[in-house]
Amino acid sequence: MFDWQPILTGFVRHLDKIRLRRVFREFAELMCKSTMPYRDGPDDTTCEIAVNRYCADLPIRLVAGRIEDQTDPNLRTEELAEAYRTFLHTQRQAVQERFGEEVAARLHRQVLSQVNPDLQEALEQYDLV
């Protein structure tokens, strides 16, 4: 009899990684977008530039408010989650430096409430918030 367990386990891991990538992208892009009312103008990308500078060692960038993720597809899920945690933490710090702690905390709460409810569990599971 054929053992389906390894295939099913691999499939579940693949789905977990997809959810992780999706929730990371959604959260990071929403956070970037949420800063728009606080910027000096529509072309002000100082916060985005700071995030990219601080995360120069990561294969992840914000470009025009969108995530460009060049992480290795073969990374283990936990390694990927660590890179994403680092990026999101740094993004929050850059927002805080640029707009202040009160604004950063408010935007963080706002973004949390906007994340797709199906992905909220992944935020907590991978300790991204």
Give me the residue spans of the domains in the chain.
7-125
Q: What percent of the chain has pLDDT over 90?
A: 76
Q: What amino acid is encoded at 46 in this protein?
A: T
Q: Which residue has the higher pLDDT, 6 or 95?
A: 95
pLDDT of 64: 94
Position 19 pLDDT exceeds 80: yes
Residues 6+ apart with CB under 8 A from 67: 24, 25, 28, 29, 60, 61
Encoded tokens for 10? 């691999």
Position 1 pLDDT exceeds 90: no
Nearest to 116 by CA among 3, 26, 11, 18: 26
Q: Which residue has the higher pLDDT, 61 or 10?
A: 61
pLDDT of 8: 42
Establish how many alpha carbons lie within 13 A of residue 13's alpha carbon, considering only the half-sphere containing its beta carbon: 14
pLDDT of 13: 56
